[in-house]
A and B are shown apart, each in its own frame.
Chain A
Amino acid sequence: MAEHHDSAADGSAVELSEPRTVTSGTAVISADRFENPGLPVDHQRVTDLDPAQERKAERRIIWLFWLSLIGSVFAIAAYFIWPIEPGNMTSTRMNNLMLGIGITLGLFGIGLGAVNWAKSLMHGHEEVEPRHDTRGTEATRARAVEIFQQANAESGFTRRRLLRNSLIGALVVAPLPAVVLFRDLAPADEPHELLRHTMWEKGTRLALDPSGAPIKASDVTVGSVFHVIPESLAKLGHGDGYLEEKAKAVVLMMRLRPEELNEAEDRKDWSYDGIVAYSKICTHVGCPVALYEQQTHHLLCPCHQSEFDVANHCEVIFGPAARPLPQLPITVDAEGYLVAQSDFHEPVGPSFWERER
């Protein structure tokens, strides 16, 4: 910390130090500028002038501290008077409110009292403290340089260069094992391979999310939208990878009039009677694309407002997404249930570096 000299007397902030010339750059320093007129005469507060006001202020502050005491005691009482009754939301709210108000009063009383005390009763005149250059005095700096030089001479830090550089090299490499240690933050698999597969495979039934009830094609009316999971997913528990699989496998299924669908030649058989299934995971950063506008056949991602056109293979028509939602090829099985023809033909969800590899 900078060295402090004795505080200057009130109103005079004369600093007695060596003037050091420091460039002021392109600053305009006019000899013709005004002089600082110096501190004005202190103004007196009512509490300085009138003893009655002073006593009044003191009483007011005492009352504020007492208010704090009352508030804190009230908060303790409230903890017991308004307990939480299981299942009763109102009791939770009352507990929160009353406890909170008690603590608020406890804190406000102290705060307002202390500030009031400072503002109306404590010595109210401004005082002056001189500043010094932040840098150490010339003597201090010279001594610091001397110490470094001495240390250097005694250790040979700059003279013994190979020794020093070996130390630096060792220090740089020493933390590197820590980087390797972090590899096992995740299992041994290659992550991008995992991203290419979902639970869907040939014959997996399309089922309702989250119940897992399979869906018959005949139950899907025109204009409706279904939140779909693979039938086998519903049987998984959270411990068996339910959320991880679900994060890749969720599908939105809609039925459009066949004449409204513009299907590419090579995907003509991916839909069934106007029923199409698309990955629900946005190709932007992976939010569920959950909003379907029936009239326009547009899907909207609620996170970043990417819009996909279901009638045209979910191509991006607005927003930051770059790629269409991947389509799940579907058909019906012998019992009339909707099933997948295969897994998705491309990775679902947000883009990643090795995606096209």
Chain B
Amino acid sequence: MSTATTDTVTKPGPGMRFTSAAANYIDERTSASGFVRELGRKIFPDHWSFMLGEVALYSFVAILLSGTFLTFFFDPSMTATHYQGSYVPLKGVEMSVAYASTLDISFDIRGGLLMRQVHHWAALLFVASIGLHMLRVFFTGAFRKPREINWVIGFVLFILAMAEGFTGYSLPDDLLSGNGLRIIDGMVKGMPVIGVWISYLLFGGEFPGHDIVPRLYVLHIMLLPAILIALIGVHMLLLIVNKHTQFAAPGRTNQNVVGSPILPVFAAKAGGFFFIVFGAIVLIASVFTINPIWNYGPYDPSPVSAGTQPDWYIGFADGALRLVPPHWEFVFLGYTWSMNILIPILVIMVFLVLVTFYPFIEAWITGDKREHHMAERPRNAPTRTAIGAAGVTFYGVMWAGASSDLMATHFMLTIEGVIVALQISLILGPIAAYIITKRVCLALQKKDREIALHGFETGRIVRLPGGEYIEVHEPLNEYDRWRLVAHETYRPLMIRPNERGRITVGQRVRAGLSRWFFEDRIEPVTRSELERAHHHE
């Protein structure tokens, strides 16, 4: 292979003369050949789940492209105007310039509606794919050393993506987005000490004021994207420095990467995949309406439509607000403490902080300082996977909370019943998910052990001379077996006194957590176990 490549490189064909001259020109001014040497044949491992992060990146590009188009037409002003565009039902209605220009983009600019819908659908996909990408990284342990920092950066990107989503959602100044801002205003006002001031400064006076849309616009198209792009750059850079994780397979070790080189295979696959993702977004945008702001009308503090939903990624926060029982507010020292707002915000913050710092917590428990480049199968880290399942359930219940009214109307239930059921699920759901997931993981590990030891069932039943029936098991070849035995487990930490002969509280906590994590464990089959199993047969 390598000889073939050298040949083609050294002898450019006649048609390549321009390309060679151009490459030479650029290299003499940038030393770009160094980059090509370093990165051109960099290896990327293949697995379908590694595409989730790519989807996020590519939908972000789609957002940038469509968003830039929209900025040429959108006017983020809250000055009042009387609509004179071509959407008949709203003709002559007093509204903000921002809303009117959104209507113009939708009804008077060819392709404007398409770009609006591409922008919105891509944004939904962006946050969704980041979320799935994070789940993939979490459940395969790909956040372990040396990737903890990249996990944190990725998490910040997730938060920024939601912030971008919310600021963008608020820009058209329609009834729905105005109500969203109203809710934000109410939440901000509930903050102790600074709440009223923050709301007052944010809205430039009393809600809704005339400043919030232009201010959010600056955040939406300048400040947040600048931070996002910078962090995506760092995220990618660390990906290159750390190299991608890979799943255990024959020939893949912690000291190598097995896969396709960037040039040409990975570039073609990833580049092609960008066009597929972008194409899918455009297809959805051309066939399915999203956020038909013309149906809602301009913002007015009085009307509201029943059954309104925030964009999906804000749902968990909205749901958390809904799940609070009545009367969680008190007056203390003459000040109002809005626990009905503070508690859900606090719960969400704690949840997010735990997600951010999980890699460090797990690293502390295991005490493992080695680098880990093998993506784990979720079953091989049962406690982590169970914690993840509990977290997903917790998030899911809060998310479902945001649709409690729709669930009630669609399934003919009482609103109160749905909320109470979700309140109970918020506590019990994660516990149940934890227990079930952990047991399922352990059971799957047992199954893996059995297959590694005794081979797989062939479905062939043989009758022995004695009349006994057995099913013939086919032993695995060493390649298939490797996937089942490649992983490592940890033992619970033994409490030991430190050099001064003392057992610290930190030690005890760590040992307790370690017991919780690793007490129940199934260790992979070893060589001698397999030998013994063969003898047994």
**A185-B204 in contact (CB<8A):** yes
**B326-A118 in contact (CB<8A):** no
A169 adjacent to chain B (CB < 8 Å): no
Within 8 A of B (CB), among A298-357: 300, 302-307, 316-323, 349-357
Size of the A side of the interface (Cβ < 8 Å), in residues, is: 123
CB A137 to nearest CB in B, in angstroms, measures 14
The contact of B268 among A122, A241, A356, by CB within 8 Å, is: A122
The contact of A108 among B200, B275, B526, by CB within 8 Å, is: B275
CB B178 to nearest CB in A, in angstroms, measures 9
CB-CB nearest in chain B for A124: B265
**B287-A238 in contact (CB<8A):** no
**B367-A191 in contact (CB<8A):** no
Known: A27-B488, A318-B326. A243 touches B273 (CB 8 A): no
A40 adjacent to chain B (CB < 8 Å): yes
CB-CB nearest in chain B for A12: B256
The contact of A290 among B256, B306, B485, by CB within 8 Å, is: B306
**A34-B482 in contact (CB<8A):** yes
**Binary CB contact string for chain B from 246 to 259 against chain A (1 if under 8 A, 0 otherwise):** 00001111111111
B71 adjacent to chain A (CB < 8 Å): no
B340 adjacent to chain A (CB < 8 Å): yes
**B268-A115 in contact (CB<8A):** yes
Which residues of chain A come closer than 8 Å to B303, judged between CB atoms?
227, 288, 290
The contact of B250 among A26, A38, A96, A282, by CB within 8 Å, is: A38
**B183-A287 in contact (CB<8A):** yes
Chain A contact residues: over half helix, strand or loop, or mixed? loop
**B259-A247 in contact (CB<8A):** no
Top 8 closest A-B pairs, CB basis? Answer: A100-B286, A285-B186, A114-B272, A25-B367, A111-B275, A39-B251, A238-B80, A322-B329
A97 to B490, CA, bound (A): 56
A-B contact pairs, 29 of them (CB 8 A): A26-B493, A28-B490, A29-B488, A32-B528, A36-B250, A36-B486, A37-B251, A39-B251, A40-B251, A97-B286, A99-B111, A99-B114, A115-B269, A117-B268, A118-B264, A119-B269, A127-B259, A134-B241, A185-B204, A191-B199, A194-B206, A239-B79, A246-B300, A284-B321, A286-B183, A287-B182, A288-B303, A305-B322, A349-B186
A314 to B188, CA, bound (A): 24
Which residues of chain A come closer than 8 Å to B328, judged between CB atoms?
320, 322
A316 to B202, CA, bound (A): 30
**A37-B325 in contact (CB<8A):** no
**A111-B340 in contact (CB<8A):** no
**B195-A131 in contact (CB<8A):** no
Size of the B side of the interface (Cβ < 8 Å), in residues, is: 147
**A353-B369 in contact (CB<8A):** no
Which residues of chain A come closer than 8 Å to B324, judged between CB atoms?
320
**B367-A286 in contact (CB<8A):** no
Which residues of chain A come closer than 8 Å to B404, judged between CB atoms?
305
Which residues of chain A come closer than 8 Å to B254, judged between CB atoms?
131
Which residues of chain A come closer than 8 Å to B31, judged between CB atoms?
none
Known: A133-B371, A192-B196, A229-B302. A285 touches B110 (CB 8 A): no
**A111-B88 in contact (CB<8A):** no
B146 adjacent to chain A (CB < 8 Å): yes
The contact of A36 among B87, B253, B371, by CB within 8 Å, is: B253
CB-CB nearest in chain A for B215: A185
Within 8 A of A (CB), among B79-115: 79-80, 85-88, 94, 96, 106-111, 113-114
A1-9, A142-150, A157-165: which lies at the interface: A1-9
CB-CB nearest in chain A for B187: A285
Known: A100-B283, A287-B183. A36 touches B482 (CB 8 A): yes
**A303-B308 in contact (CB<8A):** yes
A84 adjacent to chain B (CB < 8 Å): yes
A101 to B118, CA, bound (A): 12
Which residues of chain B come closer than 8 Å to A113, judged between CB atoms?
272
**A22-B369 in contact (CB<8A):** yes
Known: A92-B107, A112-B276, A127-B258. A37 touches B482 (CB 8 A): yes
CB-CB nearest in chain B for A95: B110
Which residues of chain A come closer than 8 Å to B211, judged between CB atoms?
185
**A182-B201 in contact (CB<8A):** yes
A291 adjacent to chain B (CB < 8 Å): yes
A277 adjacent to chain B (CB < 8 Å): no
**B302-A288 in contact (CB<8A):** yes
B274 adjacent to chain A (CB < 8 Å): yes
B469 adjacent to chain A (CB < 8 Å): no
**B287-A100 in contact (CB<8A):** yes
The contact of A87 among B88, B243, B278, by CB within 8 Å, is: B88
Known: A250-B301, A287-B179. A353 touches B191 (CB 8 A): yes
The contact of A285 among B85, B190, B196, B371, by CB within 8 Å, is: B190
The contact of A115 among B114, B243, B272, by CB within 8 Å, is: B272
CB-CB nearest in chain B for A322: B329
Which residues of chain B come closer than 8 Å to A26, judged between CB atoms?
366-368, 490-493, 514, 518
**Binary CB contact string for chain A from 79 to 106 against chain B (1 if under 8 A, 0 otherwise):** 1000110110000100111011101111
Which residues of chain A come closer than 8 Å to B183, judged between CB atoms?
285-287, 303
Within 8 A of A (CB), among B485-534: 485-486, 488-493, 514, 518, 523-529
**A96-B114 in contact (CB<8A):** yes
A243 to B95, CA, bound (A): 11
A77 adjacent to chain B (CB < 8 Å): no
A1 to B143, CA, bound (A): 20
**A320-B321 in contact (CB<8A):** yes
B468 adjacent to chain A (CB < 8 Å): no
A352 to B193, CA, bound (A): 9
A282 to B207, CA, bound (A): 14
**A353-B336 in contact (CB<8A):** yes
Which residues of chain B come closer than 8 Å to A2, judged between CB atoms?
241
A202 to B264, CA, bound (A): 79
Which residues of chain A come closer than 8 Å to B206, judged between CB atoms?
191, 194-195, 241, 244, 247-248
Which residues of chain A come closer than 8 Å to B87, judged between CB atoms?
87
CB-CB nearest in chain A for B199: A191
Which residues of chain B come closer than 8 Å to A306, judged between CB atoms?
326
Which residues of chain B come closer than 8 Å to A210, judged between CB atoms?
300, 302
The contact of A303 among B107, B109, B179, B203, by CB within 8 Å, is: B179
Which residues of chain B come closer than 8 Å to A297, judged between CB atoms?
none
CB-CB nearest in chain A for B248: A36
CB B524 to nearest CB in A, in angstroms, measures 7
A128 adjacent to chain B (CB < 8 Å): yes
**B481-A34 in contact (CB<8A):** yes
Which residues of chain B come closer than 8 Å to A7, judged between CB atoms?
41
B327 adjacent to chain A (CB < 8 Å): yes
Within 8 A of B (CB), among A225-265: 227, 229, 237-239, 241, 243-244, 246-248, 250
CB-CB nearest in chain B for A119: B269
A101 to B114, CA, bound (A): 10
**A246-B111 in contact (CB<8A):** no
